Amino acid sequence: MQRRSFLWALAAPAMVTGMATTPVTAQTDAPIRIGMTVSSAGTFALAAQSGERGLQIWLDDVNSRGGIDIGGKKRKVELVKLDDRSDKTLVPRVYETLIKDEKVDLVFGPFGSTLTAAAANATETNGKFMVIWSASADSIYRQGYKYIVSATQIAGTLLGQPAVRALHAMGVKKIAFAYLDEPFPASLTQGAIELARKLGMEVTMEEKFAKGTKDFNILIQKARASGAEAFYPTAYEGDQMTIARQIREANADFKAVYLVYASQPQFLQQAGKDGHYVFSQTLLHEKINWPVTHGLNRAQMMERYAKLFPNAQYTADFQTILAYGAGVVTEQIISTAQSLDAAKMKEAALKLSGKIVTATGEYEIDETGKQFKNEFSIMQTTPTGLEVVYPPPVATAKPIYPVPPFSQRK
């Protein structure tokens, strides 16, 4: 089997938004082609597909305005999608297909740090600008890559810190950490532990677990035996649903449990009572409204989501708005650069640092492309719904702390 046939056998057929049937030419008003992989199955599927819907909202908006002006000509934007199946070994080859065979002008990263790290070598080697919308692992930005920019996703070591500040403000003095042994959970936990110790909190446990772990009871019992008031296990969404269920089944009465994904619509729907009183974080809530300078605001984005995806299984979530915001930043980068050259786009991205506020928040990067703003708000799931509990300027309710013991819950 030839190489190209092999890749397409592994990956889903390319799906192009608004793509013409004629071959792409070098004309100055040809569509801008953005490549991206989206997981059809596996660990990252839910989040990847949610993010892709956010990018589609930006595409719909920018193309309704005629596209992006480069050199006095409006150029519409097309999205070329392939399937990475949540498989990091497949990712480099699929991105090479996007670049070499599909001739995309730039790329969006896949979901998450694990897959994005796998994509970065391929995009960098081929001189393509990559917009990161979800990967947060600090290690990605220490590799010396020239053409990557995190448009909206805050760096991993900063990502988990708002939750620590919130727990500290509630009075938590002892906290136990557990994390999946992958770049994103490790970075988030590292930053959270560092801040916890700086604030004078006692870290009673710091344990990692392997991908594929299904039984978390030993970790739960170890955290409880450590005397921790708060349990802070970090993994991806499916694992966190399992952790929430097993905490309830074990009647492990921590005063607080923090699960980063517990405010996601799919988590709330599938976890049910297992997720009650759990703390989490998000960028997307009806009470969180940034003073937007570029793109749609939160309410407008949600309206466009309802229009474009009336039959979506889940409502928009923070992955959706992260990818939408990344599209907005990308538009400003291209407009400022007046070019699709990777070096010129990186230069423009740096010039724009501190000058853009999207629906996700403020945009600020350093020379490596690492994002420092777009800090998440802390939520708590109550039996009557989600509430913003931190930071105080956007809080809609005081946190319930300590949470009720399982024996007292209905």
For the stretch 115-144, pLDDT in tens is 999 999 999 999 999 999 999 889 999 999
pLDDT above 80 for 359: yes
**pLDDT at residue number 28:** 62
The class of domain 158-286+376-408 in CATH terms is alpha beta
Each residue's pLDDT tens digit, 302-326 = 999 999 999 998 889 989 999 999 9
**pLDDT at residue number 160:** 93
What span, in angstroms and rounded, lies between the C-alpha atoms of 143 and 158? 19
Each residue's pLDDT tens digit, 249-275 = 999 999 999 999 999 888 988 888 899
CA distances from 337 to 63, 120, 270 (A): 19, 22, 44
**Average pLDDT for residues 181-204, to the nearest whole number?**
94
**pLDDT at residue number 13:** 43
Residue 209 main-chain phi, psi, to 5 deg: -135, 160
Of the listed ranges 65-69, 80-84, 371-375, the least confidently predicted one is 371-375
**pLDDT at residue number 27:** 53
**Residue extent(s) of CATH 3.40.50.2300 domains in the chain:** 3-156+289-363, 158-286+376-408
Burial class from Cβ neighbours inside 10 Å (0-12, 13-18, 19+) for residue 136 reads buried
Residue 315 main-chain phi, psi, to 5 deg: -75, 175
**pLDDT at residue number 208:** 96
75, 37, 78: which is closest to 56 by C-alpha? 78
**pLDDT at residue number 20:** 36
Residue 257 main-chain phi, psi, to 5 deg: -125, 130
Each residue's pLDDT tens digit, 153-169 = 999 889 999 999 999 99
In CATH, the number for domain 3-156+289-363 is 3.40.50.2300
**Average predicted confidence (pLDDT) for the chain:** 92
**Average pLDDT for residues 96-112, to the nearest whole number?**
97
**pLDDT at residue number 321:** 96
- What confidence category does residue 18 fall into, taking pLDDT thresholds of 50, 70 and 90? very low
Contact between 122 and 94 (Cβ < 8 Å): no
**pLDDT at residue number 265:** 83
What span, in angstroms and rounded, lies between the C-alpha atoms of 328 and 58? 7
What span, in angstroms and rounded, lies between the C-alpha atoms of 166 and 169? 5
pLDDT above 90 for 375: no
pTM of structure: 0.79
pLDDT cut 70: percent of the chain above it: 93
Strand partners for 381:
386
Which of 25-34, 144-153, 392-401 has maximum average pLDDT?
144-153
